Amino acid sequence: MHELGVAGEILDVVLSEADRHAAKKVTSIRLRVGVLRSIEPENLSFLFEHLARGTAAEGAFLEIVEEPVRIECEGCGVSEARAFKCECPRCHGPNVSVTGGDSLRILTLDIED
Partner 1 sequence: MGPGGTVRIEVERAILQSADEAAAAIRALLSERKIFALNLISSPGSGKTTLIEALLARFDGKGGVAVVEGDIETEIDAERIRKHGVQVRQINTHTSCHIQPSRLLSVLREMDLSETRLLLVENVGNLVCPAEVPLGEDARVVLLSVTEGDEKPLKYPLVFKTSDLLVITKTDLLPYVTFDVDRVRRAARAANPAVEIFEVSATTGAGMSDLLDRIEALRAAKK
Name the burial class of residue 54, with classes exposed (0-12), middle (13-18) and buried (19+) by CB atoms within 10 angstroms of its CB.
exposed
Interface with partner 1 includes 5 (CB under 8 A)? yes
Interface with partner 1 includes 102 (CB under 8 A)? yes
Walk across the sheet containing 77-81 and list its strands. 77-81, 69-73, 96-100
Interface with partner 1 includes 98 (CB under 8 A)? yes
d(CA 29, CA 52): 12
- Pick the binder of partner 1 from 59, 75, 77, 94 (CB under 8 A): 94
- Pick the binder of partner 1 from 6, 56, 57, 62 (CB under 8 A): 6
**Binding residues among 46-85 for partner 1 as defined by CB under 8 A:** 69, 84-85
